[in-house]
Amino acid sequence: MNNTDYIYLDHNATTPVDVRVLEAMLPYFTKVFGNAASLDHEAGHEANRVVNLAREQCARILNANDPKEIIFTSGATESDNIALFGVAEKYADKGDHIITCVTEHKAVLDCCRRLEQLGKRITYLPVDQFGIVDLDALRAAITPKTILISIMFANNEIGTIAPIQEIGAIAREHGVLFHTDAAQAVGHIPVDVEAMHIDLLSFSAHKIYGPKGIGGLYVRRRNPRVKVAPVIYGGGHELGIRSGTLNVPGIVGMGKALEIARVEMRAEAEKYRQWTQMMFQQLRDDLGSVELNGHPTQRLPHNLNVSIKGIESRSLIVQLKDIAISTGSACTSASVEPSHVIMALGFGEERAHNAIRMGIGRYTTLHEILTAISQISLAVQRISNL
């Protein structure tokens, strides 16, 4: 991708690695390359030291009590798998019922489908027109056999932020564990596992200017102490939950990315919020029939998902060769099926087929945004005139 005019507006799918993150990682590929589990020599001790530092950086942005509550994984998908399968196995004697939501990421939904095949019972809560679950419906769904509630923190397609603190309080009140896929939230908006009563939380580095292939799972150690059965065996790494030689450069990079985000995310969020509001207003001024998908205010500041009436999103994207936008989740964008998230909002298949997602980021410029909106508007007009 050498086109200097290329405009990247798909930061909900992935982000570029921050130069500061890359600089922090580089020594751990060549100069300090020890195995963090090899504690018989200095090379291993140094690798272990920086891994523990990164664990502290991860814990700090989540307000976790103990860095040991952070389990390193290959990304949020693996973290979701460990959370759901690990809890389902470990708490099988207590119950077999899990509650989730119809707009979850496929990393959660596909786990739930597999758990159903294994004999577990899953409740899929519907959402309102903004993508939010009804808290009374959540309460009503809990049974004596419910062991886990898994509701994502912020939706990857429409940007809606769930009422996480309220959900956590309901789970705690009923003695049910609460897991949230927070891959889109951590490093972008405040996340507090203590205040929000979160027991397990999945996150990933590549959504916050860190490297791909590294993520984490927060697992609460007290009040209550959460136990999960391992999904990967072989060596007992990561407190026996996730065996395998640690990706030291990736872990260092994720820790650095989260440390930067902890300092900078509030100022970034304010700028992003102003820009996405401006983008939506400009599209409406230019095109008229543009509808916002997701909650108007309780949403990720850097996400904008809209449906342009009468314009099939894939036809629009074909016209925009120098702009990276998407039709929805990066994990399912090869599918021609309408977004399961937009469909769940109750507007019908046409609005789902007309939806595009734009995500701005740390290196996006105002000039790029204005150029992108202008080109999108012109492309819509060309398609309309065909």
Active-site residues: which are they?
331
What is the spatial distance between Cα 88 and Cα 66, in angstroms, rounded to a whole number? 24
What is the spatial distance between Cα 73 and Cα 28, in angstroms, rounded to a whole number? 18
What is the spatial distance between Cα 371 and Cα 131, in angstroms, rounded to a whole number? 30
- Per the CB < 8 A criterion, the answer to whether 251 and 58 are in contact is no
The HSE-up count of residue 312 (CA atoms within 13 Å, CB side) is 7
Tokens of 384: 């309309």
Q: Is 248 helix (H, G, I), strand (E, B) or coil?
A: helix
Report the candidate in 255, 301, 226 with the shortest Cα–Cα distance to residue 57. Answer: 255
Give me the count of residues in the chain. Answer: 386
Beta strand segments in 90-238, E: 97-101, 121-125, 146-150, 177-181, 200-204, 215-219
Strand partners, 305: 357
Cis ω before 190 (30° cut-off from 0): no
Q: Which residues contact 39 (CB under 8 A, 6 or more apart)?
A: 45, 48
Beta strand segments in the chain, E: 7-8, 70-73, 97-101, 121-125, 146-150, 177-181, 200-204, 215-219, 290-292, 303-308, 323-324, 355-359
Query: Where does residue 198 fall: left (phi above 0), alpha (psi -120 to 50 degrees), or beta otherwise?
Result: beta
What is the spatial distance between Cα 156 and Cα 198, in angstroms, rounded to a whole number? 19
Query: Where does residue 236 fall: left (phi above 0), alpha (psi -120 to 50 degrees), or beta otherwise?
Result: left
